[in-house]
Structure 1
Amino acid sequence: MPGNGLGRRGLLKTGAAVGAATAVSVGTPAEAHTSADRNGRLALVNGRVHTMDRRNTVAEAVLIEDGVFVDVGRRVDTGGARVVDLRGRMVVPGLVEPHIHSVSLANRPGYHTILENTTSIREVQDALRARRRAGVPGGQWVTSMGGFHVNQWAEHRMPTLAELDAAVPDRPVLLYTRFTGPCATNTLGKAHFDAVDAGPKPHPAYVPVDTAADGAIAEGGFAGGASNSALYLLRTLQTYADKLRGAQDMMAYSVSVGLTSHLDQVLFPTPGPLSPTQVLSNLDHYRMYDALLDLHRQGKLVIRLQTNFLHNQADPNLPELKARLRNSFQFFGDDMMMTGSIGEWAAPLSAGAAWVEAQRLVAQAGWRNENSVQNLAGLTQVVEEWERVDAQYDITELRWMVHHVPQVTTDLLTRLRNMGCAVQMAGYRWVASGPDDTNVGPQFRTIVDHGIQVGLHGDGVHIAPLNPWPHIYYAVTGRNSFGAQVNAGQQLTRQEALRLFTIGNSWFLRMEDRIGSIEKGKLADAVVLDRDYFRVRDEDIRKIRADLTIVDGRVVHEGGRK
């Protein structure tokens, strides 16, 4: 949408000068914002505001004051407000992600490039080229780690060294897929890895990267390997300033796609020094949030972030989990940044007696508990053990939940519901499924129709996009990256999918009374979409972006596409 020539700096100056209604159109890039922006009045008028309230009300105008929605209706009082003329644009609540690994994205080494929305190697080259031109200092790496899959590209393969050179000839490049590779690099990257391989081992666990002539680096494993070594070398170059920049980049991308609230699930906590045996999601779980905490103290946090505690010990004594439950607080913080609870799991599902004891300890402490399950056997194990725990401690008010659930039965869903537990359905499986795959699940329709508390998540950023719109597209079409129908009969309506990613998902953060819908008294998170979600073709759902994003009453994104 074309602007009227008033950038945000001009808008603020005009509003301060005249103290009356001042109009601005959507579309001008926004500056960085401070907590002071929360004060005052902001009005969105002449739009289609899908509130996601209980009646699915569609309003025309919204008034925000001091970070809260104070009026929603056909008209609002714009006196003294900064006014945004929506010109018929669609507005939705800020989207909510109850299962994401965005803190890991914030800690990526190099100058991370978003590739999860690209559809061909040419588009990959364009994205890398644009990242380089945006300002990558000499000697720094251009990277992209996680979020994309070769299936989404027309060529269904990784770019070659020559193709990466054509995009970025003057900076080293590394593309890294999923948890353990494989990787691809360019000429400068290959030269760096070859030089390290030719010298003394930088770490006892180091495996030579052994870059192929075409820039390919073999997939590693959870015990180490070539891709893990390449990742290790880049991590040793990373500074705290890099992490601050990465955290800001992560947040900027999130609000550009309308995602305003995250429940971060961490993954594979690894305290202590870096090692080539670590995978993409390994992080020091005592320090991984430092940059985001600093930005929050400075008033520069532009997403709501709830951070879970993941525990990966198979030791039946569970010393770390016991210390956590004794010495930490769940839901401690404020509406912008707070601790969560136990998740993505309290102990590995395969850990036998340790996993069983972990469930008991979390219930005894009265904490929220979450568990990822990958098949029907795993879901059955969780339900049966949780029933035993519930008989002893009563977990019905603790909001325990299971994630992914690719397979369900109505009996297991009923038993979960009877314990006050909930289900989060994963929309990410479309990314990795092949052209001939069928029934890769999950059973969206079966679960939603059952009546259990339910949410929809993407599980970005290691194996799937952070961007929620591809996941919503999959939920409503059942089509994978190849356009194949892989989830026949299990689709959701567009209204259902959007409700799940807004007011539905807010329940999992225990914030349904504060976020997830546009209603009087709720925190002012809203997104002006660049196209009408309810009217575009199915294929264009994945292309939806934010023209304007408001978090806590502040404009945190305006214009631009990624």
Structure 2
Amino acid sequence: MADPTGPGKEHEPERHAASVSRRGLIIGGGSVVAAAALGAPAAASPPATTKPGSDDDELLFVNGKIHTMDDRNSVVSAVRLKGGRFTAVGRDAERGSSARKIDLRGRTVVPGLIESHSHFVSLANRPGYHVAEWELAKNVNEVLAYLKARRKDVPEGAFITAMGAGTPRMFAEQRLPTLAEIDAVIPDRPVFLYQSGFGPARVNTLGKQFFESITDIPVTVGADGTIAGGNPNMANRALYHLRIRQTFDDKKRSALDAMAYTASVGLTTILDQTLVAASTGTLNPASLDPQPTDGLPTLNHFRMYDAWLALHAEGRAYVRLQMNFLHNQGFITELGGLDKQLPELKERLKNQFPFFGDDMLRTGGIGEWAAPFARPSNANGYAVWLESQRLVAKARWRNENAQPGSATNTDTIEQVVATYEQMDREFGIKDLRWGLQHADYATPGQLARLKALNCGVSVSGFRWLNGTPRADGLPAGPLFKQILASGIPMGMHEDGIHISPHNPWFALHYATTGLNVLGQQINPGQQITRQEALHAYTRGNAWYLNREDELGSIEKDKFADLVVLDKDYFTVSDAAMRDIRPILAIIDGKIVHDTGALSRH
């Protein structure tokens, strides 16, 4: 069983190296993220290292509206931090000297936002010079502007890519840019745009020429630059040809780019729910090398952390990452009886540790699931799923299940809740804080039973993208108000990277308005206040990550993570709230994103 505690060296097949030389393709090159388009700032480079506790890492913020998110929802004007911790909040912060003072000039400050369900490590493995910012675009012209801005630091021959993020429904034209439109702004670099998790894709002329030059595992490209999904999935073949040309240095650059974008939207801590692995053969890491059939959500789940781990060892990783471990082994016929099933999960529980690591990088629990969900009508599948719950409970790990099936199907939630109760009777799980993801339609009774087990829930903030008004007029979910009324610990998530964007302000907008991307009301009667929504994305998610004593609020001795906003989240219009961006982000007491909008002395 591979233990992700250190980087592994990757070797590219010789034929791939030769093909790179033949076509002059460069997938990477080692520069930082390009300046964002539409007036956005350049993404932050990794923060400079300062000695914890020394005078040169002390910061004092004054003259702000600092929403601490403490038990009283206090709003103060000043906060001091040093050595990666908040050392004083409110009037106490202004006493004494400070090496660096930042005048907020009335700006709104909130704790660093926490994401409780993301597939973020996939973003950190994107091939090419990736443009994560395209998920912020409202129309095709803005997509083109982001691509053009990225072009500024991309070497000749290198691909500019933009993938995932749930596009293109979020663009006004409901489409990707055309080949001609991309050529008009980037005629001298190949471009590859890939929708959602499995295509289709779109390229410009240079991208078209590259893929059409491939003779082994060929890619069919339409005259308009379209690379189709479907069967066979040509978009996945194209993705494969970019992935096999990535070097380890390319992956490290992509991980840094992913951190820079993450900080720029105000996220400071991520719970990664990993990716779906192959259901058989996964004890052999070589079996998980890139395949032409793989979509964007499929990566080698033994090796996908390597670049991040290397950056962390070098002191260059600056977004907090907590890693859950998803297991996709259902009933495997050739293994035999139940005692021989779930080989990977068994090895994980024997050879790794939950919540192991440091303040910036650590393991989490088992999730998004321990085995594929199955109903009792599927005897073998159900036996394996139930056994996976038992193994996790017996090993004393935290366990999560994502609500399976239809979003409105409370029967599947009932199976999860009843099984958790069974595991508590057998092993005692109340101290392990098991969780339920996508608990959008849990009933009051189910929520009360989960709460009695000391479980928490994380609810979906992504329905704004694909949700439509229901014919029966009922909410499309989540039932935010009902869940909050239960008193159960509740966090929120965007489930970003493949099915939806990474930007949390879209989810906060949906939770407080119920409006989808087209401006339709899809969640009537379930809107919550902006304070409640922000609580879910800070203190609620800190609880869900088992880190409420150190994250989620601006309080003395907690980790110094905060973001300074360009708009007042609590007073701007609903439409403007979707466009909130941090002008400054602090993680572990260090400035990791800075637009230069604030003065300091």
Normalised by the size of structure 1, how large is the TM-score? 0.90
- 2:247 aligned to which of 230, 236, 239: 239
Equivalence for 2:325: 309
Counterpart in 1 of 2:113?
95
Partners of 1:115 and 1:148 within 8 A in 2: no
SS class of match (1:83): strand
* Match for residue 80 of structure 2 among 40, 44, 63: 63
Please state whether the residue corresponding to 1:116 is helix, strand or coil.
helix
Q: Which residue of 2 aligns with 1:359?
A: 389
Instruction: Write the mapping of 1:154-553 to structure 2, written as runs, cut at 5 A.
Output: 154-196=172-214, 199=215, 201-202=216-217, 208-220=218-230, 225-269=233-277, 271-272=285-286, 273-315=289-331, 316=338, 317-350=341-374, 351-374=381-404, 375=406, 376=409, 377-434=411-468, 439-553=475-589
Is the partner of 1:431 in helix, strand or coil? helix
Q: Which amino acid in 1 is paired with 2:118?
A: I
Q: Is 2:46–2:317's contact at 8 Å kept on the other side of the alignment?
A: no
The reply to whether residue 47 of structure 1 matches residue 64 of structure 2 is: yes
Q: Please report how far the alpha carbon of residue 432 of structure 1 lies from its aligned counterpart in structure 2 after TM superposition.
A: 1.7
CA drift of 1:380 comes to 2.0
Q: CA deviation at 1:138?
A: 1.3
Which digits, 9 at most, give the CA deviation of each residue in 1:288-323, with x for residues without a partner? 111111111121121111111111111351000000
The residue number in structure 2 matching 1:20 is: none
Aligned residues: percent identity? 50
1:23 corresponds to: none
Unmatched 5+ residue regions in structure 1?
1-26, 203-207
Distance change in 2, residues 1:149/1:37 (3 Å): farther
Secondary structure of 1:33's aligned partner: coil
Q: How many residues align?
A: 524
Structure 2 Cα separation of the partners of residues 165 and 435 of structure 1: 38
Partner residue, 2:144: 125
Deviation digits for residues 248-304 of structure 1, max 9, x if unmatched? 011111111111001111111354321112110111111111111111112112111
C-alpha deviation, 1:434, in angstroms: 4.4
Which runs of 5 or more structure 2 residues have no equivalent in the other structure? Answer: 1-40, 279-284, 332-337, 375-380
Q: Report what 1:17 is aligned to.
A: none
Q: Is the 8 A contact 1:428 1:459 kept in 2?
A: yes
Deviates more, 1:384-393 or 1:30-39: 30-39
Kindly provide the CA deviation profile for residues 335-356 of structure 1, in whole angstroms up to 9, marking residues without a partner as x.
1111111011111113422111
- Any idea what the Cα deviations from partners look like across 1:215-245, whole Å, max 9, x if unmatched? 1122246xx6212111111101111111111
- Supply the distance in 1 between the matched residues of 2:166 and 2:342 (Cα, whole angstroms): 35
Check whether the contact 1:314–1:354 (CA below 8 A) recurs between aligned residues: yes
How big is the shift at 1:115? Answer: 0.9
Q: Which moved more, 1:321-330 or 1:140-149?
A: 140-149
> Residues of 2 paired with 1:191 and 1:434: CA distance?
39
**Residues in 2 aligned to 1:115 and 1:47: alpha-carbon distance in whole angstroms:** 31
Residue 35 of structure 1 aligns with which residue?
A: 49
1:22 corresponds to: none
Deviation at 1:195, TM superposition (A): 2.1
Query: What is the CA-CA distance between 1:560 and the residue it aligns to?
Result: 7.2
Secondary structure at 2:135 match in 1 = coil
Contact 1:49-1:91 within 8 A present in 2 as well: yes
**1:430 aligns to what SS in structure 2?**
helix
The answer to whether the 8 Å contact 1:149/1:432 transfers is no
Alpha-carbon offset, residue 167 of structure 1: 2.5
Q: Is the CA contact (8 Å cut-off) linking 1:220 and 1:228 kept in structure 2?
A: no
Larger deviation, residues 61-70 vs 378-387: 378-387
Q: Deviations over 1:468-521 (max 9, x none)?
A: 111100110110110000111111100000111111110111110001000011
CA offset digits 1:196-232 (Å, max 9, x no partner): 2xx2x34xxxxx53221111122246xx621211111
> Which letter maps to 1:432?
N
Per-residue Cα deviation, 1:335-378 (whole angstroms, up to 9, x for no partner): 11111110111111134221111000000001000111143232
Cα distance change, pair 76–452 in 1 and its aligned pair in 2 (3 A) = same
Deviations along 1:381-427, one digit per CA (max 9) or x if unpaired, are 21122222221111111111111133221122122112111111010
Extract structure 1 runs of 4+ deviating beyond 4 A.
27-31, 434-438
Q: CA deviation at 1:60?
A: 0.7
RMSD: 1.8
Q: Which amino acid aligns with 1:512?
A: E
C-alpha distance in structure 2 between counterparts of 1:544 and 1:78, whole Å: 33
SS in structure 2 of the partner of residue 307 of structure 1: strand
Q: Is the 8 A contact 2:457 2:544 kept in 1?
A: no
Distance 1:424 1:355, change over 3 A: same
Task: For 1:228, give the aligned amino acid.
Answer: N
Partner of 1:141: 159
Tell me, what secondary structure is at the counterpart of 1:151?
coil
Contact 1:103 1:288 in 2 (8 A): yes
Q: Distance in 1 between matches of 2:42 and 2:158?
A: 30
Amino acid at match of 1:352: Y
Deviations 1:122-176 (A, max 9, x none): 111111111112x111111111111142111111122221122122211111111
Q: Is the 2:470–2:476 contact (alpha carbons within 8 Å) kept by the matching residues of 1? A: no
C-alpha distance in 2 between matches for 1:511 and 1:548:
23
Q: Helix, strand or coil for the counterpart of 1:352?
A: helix
Which residue number in structure 2 is paired with residue 5 of structure 1? none
